[in-house]
Structures are given as C-alpha cells and as structure tokens.
Structure 1
Amino acid sequence: MDVKVTQNKKSNRLKWASLSIILFSLILWLVLQPSGASKVNKNDIWTGTVQRGDLQLHVSAYGRLKSKTSRLLTAKSNATVDEIILKPGALVESGSVILKLTDPLISQALSEAKRSVNQSQNQFTQLEINQKRELLAQKAQLETLRSSLESAALEVNAQQQLIDKGIVSNIDYQRSLLEHRQLTRRLKIEQQRIEQLRALHIANLKIAQSNIDAQQEIQNAAQSQFHALTVTAGITGVVQSLSVEIGQSVSFGQQLALVGSTDELYALLSVPQSTMQQVKLSQNVAIDTRGGIINGVVSRIDPVINNGSVEVEVVLNSALTHNARPELNIQGKIDTGLRKNVLYINKPIGVEQDQSAHLFRLNQSIDEAKQIKLQFGAQTHDKIEIISGAKAAEQFILSDMSRWQAHSTLTLM
C-alpha cells in the first residue's frame, strides 16, 4: 500500500510540471505574438515619401476681391422704395437705374417751383413791355420838344433879321429868345430823364432777373431731389449690395446700395494668425479666382487680429480673369520663402511646423511600420520640412495615428 501512494504522488507532480511548461509557453507565445490592436489595414491609411529638393514655402488664405473705387448710394430725402430694377451682381454703367423711389411732397414741391419760375418769367416779360412803352412815351415827348426848339430857333433867326428894319419889336424878339432858351433847357432835362429812365429800367430788370434766378435755384433743388428718386449707379461696375426692399420707407442719408468698379480691383485675404509671422510686405501672391490666376503683391497688413485671422491686402499687377468682380470669393497663395536642398514630405495630420512628432516609418519588405521621432521645420499649405529623423525615399504613415501611439511597431495587413 505504501508503494502505490508514492507512485501516485510522483505521477501528479509530473502532470503539474507538464501543465506549467505548456502554460508558460502559451503565455510567452502570446507576449511575443503581435496583438490585434497593433494590426492596421493598409487601405485605412495614406502614406507619403520623403523627398529632397527646393521647398517653396507659402501661406494659403481665403478672401474676396474688392473694388478700389466704390460708390455708396444713399437716400437724398425721405421716400418709399417703389421699384427695384437691378439686384446685387448686376453689371452696371454710370447711368444704369438701380432703384426708383417715390415722395409726393417732392413732386408737389417741384410743381410749385416750376410755377413760381414761370410767374417770375412772366413778370419779367411784362416789366420789359411796360418799360419799352414808358421809354417810347418819353422819346415821343423828347421829339416834341426838339420840334418846338427847332421852331423857336427859326423864329429867333427870322426876328433877328427883321428887328433892324423895325418890323419886329425888340420885346417880341427877346420873348422869342427866352422861349428858345427855355426849350433848350427842357430838352436837356428831358434827355437826362430818358437816361435816368434807362438806368432805372436796367436796375428793375436786374431785380426781376434775380427773382427769376432765385426761383430757378429753388426749382433746380426740387428737380435734383426729384431726379434723386431715380437711383443710378454713377460708375461703371457691379452692384455689390442692396440694403432695401420694395415698399420700404427710407430716411435721408440711409444706405440704399453699394456699387463697386470692376476696372480696378484688389484682393483682401484673411490669413490665420498661426501662419501670419511668415507674411511680409512685397511678397508675391497668386490669386485663384476659379477662372484663372491673378498675380499680386502684399501691400498692407492689418495690425488688428480679428477672430484669429489677420487681413492682408494684395495689389493685383497682372490682367484680371474673365470672372473677376468685386466680392468674388478667392483663394490666395502667398510665397513666403524658399528652402534649398532640404528634406520634406506631405504634411502629416496633427503635425505643426518647428515641432517634433512621432510617425510610423514603413518597412515594405516585412509589412511593418516602426514609430520614429522626427523634427520638423517650416511648412507650406500641404508640405513640411524635415530637419532630422528621416532620409530621402523613406515612407511614413501620414494619417491620424494618435490611437496607435502606445505601440512602437505596427503590422500592416
């Protein structure tokens, strides 16, 4: 009996030893075997190849084309929008009608002003007729005096020849001389009256004309207000915005529409603050209007940051594209420099310039990707410089691999 117990104990120890060896081998195999979490499908990632060469740096931004010459159309009086002829986006000439307004008070004022001008002109005409009649009467009286004076002169001359013969008395002769002198003085007075009458007529006509001019100014002002009810573009360009609707009441000075010239445009780009330090004055810019490229130069940088962006003004120095117009949405690419003979790659997701990051480098021969630390430098919109950690022709995973950062190696399936 003692022998059997000893054999059973030995047999149990052998079984447990065998199970321990098997269990240890299984755990070791599981540890050495890549886990399911470190396996990545090749179709779920996108990769890029490290290249060496010159890297043209640029900053991309979005914005709009703006007109250098704009005309703000405002209401010249209180009125009501009666008709909208043209809407935003319409091409216009200087005399193109955009809006029509109505105001009964202006129409009434214009009618009254025209009536006042006609009355003043009629009064002027009547004054001229009366003056001519009065002047003719004075001239007729002057002619009568001249005739009387000529008759008196004949009388004096005849009596002078007869007085020596005693035919005419000296008293009659002296009376004739007195009458002649009186008529001569009256003639001079009458001539002076006519001159004064002419001067008076001229003064009265000036007063009447000034009254006409005053009434005409009132009419011109009313006419100008009436014409202002028909709102025209004033310049050749495009209607950029319209601030009113049909039937709306507008007050004096209220904005009605904005018209921008299509001949002279500039670009206004909104550059992200994160890349703003690369932008400087006089840098070349390519403006994409989706109808072609327009070249330009950075001319002004707004010092104010608005919603994380800075406005950059670009002067256009090449021919405009066929679709260029004010307020057109555009994309701009600002050339910020050139890095010669550097390593670069398409910009991986989550990587920023002048920072380090871990990327998975591909090993095509064994379908494996190993995590490598890289130091990055300057970047463009879609490319970034590699300062250290990579060599030309090496391939890296560019997709978002944040969920795999705990793994040093990935297996590609």
Structure 2
Amino acid sequence: MDTKIEKKKGIRPKHIAIVSAVLLFLYFIGYIAFSDSGSTLKVEKDKLTISTTVQDKFNDYISISGLVQPISTVYLDAYEGGRVLEILIEEGSMVKEGDVILKLENRELYGQILNSETNLAIKQNDLRQTQINFESKRIGGQKSLLESEFQLKKAKRKFEQYKALYTDELIAGEEFLQAEESYELAQKNHEVNKFQVKQDSLLSTGSIKDLVKDLARMKQTLGMAYERIENLNVKAPIDGQLGMLDAEIGKQIGRGQSIAQVNVLTDFKIESTVDEHYTDRIKKGLTGTFERGDISFGITLKKVYPEVREGKFKIDMVFSGEKPNNIRTGQNYYIKLQLGAPTEALLLPRGAFFQSTGGQWVYVVHSTGEFAVKRSVKIGKQNPKYYEILEGLQEGEQVITSDYDAFGESDKLLLK
C-alpha cells in the first residue's frame, strides 16, 4: 500500500526565480516605455521661454527699416576730361539749373581748337583766292569771247562781200577762198571760246561749292570744339541740392567720370529692403504706417525692384499724406507694411525655435508641466510678433518657443 506524500507549503526557490523573471521583464518594458535615454533629455525649465497659443486677430504686416531719400537723383558726369581749376559751389548747397559748379582745364583741347581755327583760316583764304582766280578767269574768258565774236563778224562780212564780188567776177577765186576759210576759222574759234568759257565756269563753280561745303564743315567742327570748351564748365542739370561732389582743386577728371549728383528735394521717398521670403506678397500699391513724434504717417509702396541680392530685394515707398516737418535725407523710419487685412486665427508668439525647425514642429508642454513632447505643426503667415498656426495646436496649449539647438534629436524633454 502506497504512502501519500504531502506537499510542502511556503515559497520555494523556483517560485523566487519565476517572480524575479517577471519583475525583470516588467522593468525592461518600463525602461523602454519611459526611460529611453536616446530620445529623452532633461532640461532646466527656468531657462526656457514658454508661450501660450491664443485665438485672436492676426495682423498681416511686416516691420522694415526705411531710409529717406530724395524723390529723384540726377547724376552728373564730366562731358570733357580735365584738371579741376576752380570749385564754385560746395557740396550740400542748393543749385539752380545751369549754375556752374566747377571749372576744368584741358590744354590738349585748347590745342585742338587752335589747330581747327588755323585750318579754318587757311580754308577761308583758299576760298577767297579761288573766287578771285575764278573771277579773273571769267573776265578773261569774256574778253576772249568778245574778241572771237568780233573777229567772226569781220570774217563773215568780208566773206559775204567777196562772195558777191566773186559772183560778178570782180575778184579772183583765190581771194574768195581765203575769205571763206577765214570765216569758217572764225566760226570754229568762236565756238571753242564759248565752250571753254562754259567749262571754266562749271569747273570754278564746282570748286567753290566744294570749298564752301568744306568751310561749313570746318565751322561746324570748330563750333563743336567751342561747345567742348564750354563743357569744361560743369553745370547743374536741374534744380536741387548738390551732393556727393567728388572733386578737389588740381584733381584730374576723366571724360565720362561721375563728379556729383543733384538731389531733387521737391519730394522724398523711403528706400528699404525686404526678405526674399515675401517676394510673392510684396506688390505695388501696398500701404503702411510709421510713427514719428507720436504722430502716425502713411506710406504707399511705389516700386518693387526685381533683383535679389544676399536674400533681399529693394522697394521704394512714397508718402500718401502729410510728411514729418523735420524730414531730412538719410533719416531712418521703422515702418509697418501691411500685407493683408486682419483675420481671426490661432496665434503663437514668435521665437528662436523657428530657426531650428523651420516651423515644421514644436515642443508642446504637457498639462502637468513636467515634460514636453515633439509635435508636428503647420505655420502659415507671420508678422513681427506672431505666427499663424494652421494645424497641430489648440488654443491655450503651451509651447517652448526658445532656441532648440541644445536639444538635439530628443523627442521628449523632462522639465526640472
């Protein structure tokens, strides 16, 4: 008969082993779930900037710094090169159109004009001498023509007399033939003289015309040379204020070199640059305001320059109403340029986090305030104070808006 063996009560070694394995497994799961050192970082809460999202009106504007400039500027270049002989008007002075600002000296140009004057005098003398020679030759030709005409009449009369006498057989045939030949010679001689006088007249007239044309061209050239001399007096092209005068007594100025500029002060404009991020939104006709002495002044965008340099493009704005009383060229104004009408939106205060994430994600603080987790967001427009939140956040949520560079790739921040 078998004997019944009673089981021993209490904790045995195998029970301890099982419990230990279970606890180790649970610890491992908890470690993975809550203590992943690769995605969690402890940070000091006091060193962070934490902002709260709000539902409010979003004012679609940008703040830019503008520089006051004259409404237009006329640049003054040297028509002729030369050495600065005298400065008559100093930089900053008001000028009238035609005022002589400075005088230049150009000895080479003086020599060219002297040669032109000499050549003109020679050409004038040649013309006078040609005219005298032509007149003398014309008179000589007329005398020769008169003489040949006289001889022709004599020869004709003698021929007709001898012809009648020969018909009546009162003279010999030889005498008649001599009279006839003399008459024919006189006719030919007269024709030759007429042809020569005509040709001489045409030739002389053509020569005189050519000389007159040459003389006119030389006078025109000399006149242009005199204008070049006059251009040594550098004059104001328009009424305004003389600026950027780059000249000193004795300095050599090259032809076409920029000397100065005349600023037209009948009105002013404001020049500024805008980040290329706003290229598609900046258009002619936009309005803005700036404060000066507790007074608000309006401006209108007049011109947008297409060229982008170093990530910025240039714009010109003009006053749409009153201007400050003490406005001066070179003053800086801080302008709010309105890009659109205010709209209702979820707003997040601006912060340095945007440079780290590009607005793709943020760290959202848990309601307990003990930690923050990474969350994807979508940011729309922005102004100098707020970002417009389109997706990813709710009103009243808290977001870390300070710089994220020290957080690396952490998905969770433990706030101490």
TM-score range, shorter chain: 0.5 to 0.7
Q: Which amino acid aligns with 2:84?
A: T
TM-score (norm 1): 0.61
1:82 aligns with 2:82: no
1:161 partnered with 2:164: yes
Q: Which of 244, 254, 257 is the aligned partner of 1:251?
A: 254
Matched, 1:58 2:59: no
The one-letter code sitting in structure 1 at the alignment partner of 2:69 is L
Which consecutive unaligned segments of at least 5 residues does structure 2 have? 1-53, 364-371, 398-416
Tell me if structure 2 keeps the 8 A contact 1:87–1:98.
no
Within-5 A mapping of 1:108-127: 108-127=111-130
Task: Give the Cα separation in 2 of the matches to 1:211 and 1:75.
Answer: 27
Number of the residue aligned with 1:303: 308
Match of 1:180 in 2: 183
Amino acid paired to 1:299: V
Query: What pairs up with 1:217-232 in 2 under 5 angstroms?
Result: 218-232=221-235
Assess, with a 3 A threshold, how the Cα gap between structure 1 residues 62 and 105 changes in structure 2: closer, same or farther.
same
Q: Is the 8 A contact 2:303 2:315 kept in 1?
A: yes
Query: Given the alignment of the two structures, is residue 270 of structure 1 paired with residue 273 of structure 2, yes or no?
Result: yes
Cα shift readout 1:216-253 (whole Å, capped 9, x = no counterpart): 35524532331221112345655442111233232344
Deviates more, 1:317-326 or 1:258-267: 317-326
Partner of 1:45: none
Shift of 1:102: 1.7
- Match of residue 341, structure 2, among 338, 343, 346: 338
CA distance in 2, matches of 1:320, 1:215: 57
CA RMSD of aligned residues (A): 4.7
Say yes or no: does 1:98 pair with 2:101. yes
Residue identity over aligned pairs, in percent, reads: 16
Contact 1:75 1:250 in 2 (8 A): no
Question: Quick check: 2:345–2:388 contact (8 Å CA) kept in 1?
Answer: yes
* TM-score (structure 2 length as normaliser): 0.60
CA shift, 1:176, in A, is: 1.5
Q: How many pairs are equivalent?
A: 322
1:52-74: CA deviations, max 9, x gaps? Answer: 55635233221343666744413
Deviation of 1:175 after TM superposition, in Å, equals 1.4
State yes or no: 1:204 paired with 2:207.
yes
- CA-to-partner distance for each residue in 1:297-354, whole Å, 9 max, x for gaps? 452354222xxx7232237596896999996546344222333245889x99999997
- Show CA shifts across 1:88-121 (max 9, x none): 463442x332221122332343234223312311
Summarize the alignment of residues 115-154 of structure 1 with structure 2, pairs less than 5 Å apart.
115-154=118-157
Separation (CA, whole Å) in 2 of partners of 1:192 and 1:255: 64
Contact residue 297 and residue 317 of structure 1 kept, 8 A: no
Q: In structure 2, the residue corresponding to 1:337 is in which secondary structure? A: coil
